[in-house]
Amino acid sequence: MANQRDCMKVTNINGTIDNTCKCATWLDHWKNFGGGSPPIYCPELSCTERPEVGAHVQRANSTDQQWYIIPLCKGHNAKTGQTITISELVALVSANVSETCGKPAKPLFTSEA
C-alpha cells in the first residue's frame, strides 16, 4: 500500500462538462494515453471505492498548471475544488487533446510502456 512518502496532492477541477475529447470517456482517454489498467481502488489514499471515472485535476502546490486526467471514484470526482492526496503510483495523463487524442497521428510515448 502507498505510504505518505509515495503520494501527491492534486486539486479536482471541474473540466468534465465543457471539455470533451475523441475518446469514449475520460477514463478511456486515461487508459489510452499512458494510464494502462485502472487501479483496483480509487487512488485517493484512504478510499476503497472503485475508480469509475476519469477526473480532471491539477497538481496542488506546484507551478505545473496543466490539466491532467486520473481515475477516481464517483464520490471523489464529485468533490470539485477540493485537494485530495493520491498515490504517486497512478499516472497523470495530459488532458490537453492537442497533445493526445486530438493529434492526427498516434503519438509516441517515451514513458510508460
Ranges of H-type helices in 1-113: 26-30, 74-77
Q: Does 53 bind Zn ion (CB under 5 A)?
A: no
Q: Does 73 bind Zn ion (CB under 5 A)?
A: yes
Amino acid in the structure at residue 23: C
Answer for which of 8, 45, 47, 60 binds Zn ion (CB under 5 A) is 47
**Residue ranges in 7-46 that form contacts with Zn ion under rule CB under 5 A:** 21, 23, 29, 42, 44
Distance in Å, CB of 63 to Zn ion, minimum = 25
**Which of the ranges 1-9, 59-67, 87-95, 100-108 carries the binding residues for Zn ion, by CB under 5 A?**
100-108
User: Three cell numbers at 100?
Assistant: 493526445
Q: How many residues bind Zn ion (CB under 5 A)?
A: 10
- Cα Rg of the chain, angstroms: 13
Question: Do 70 and 92 form a contact (C-beta atoms < 8 A)?
Answer: yes
φ, ψ of residue 28 in degrees (nearest 5): -65, -40
* Residues of the shown chain interacting with Zn ion in the complex, contacts defined by CB under 5 A: 21, 23, 29, 42, 44, 47, 49, 73, 76, 101
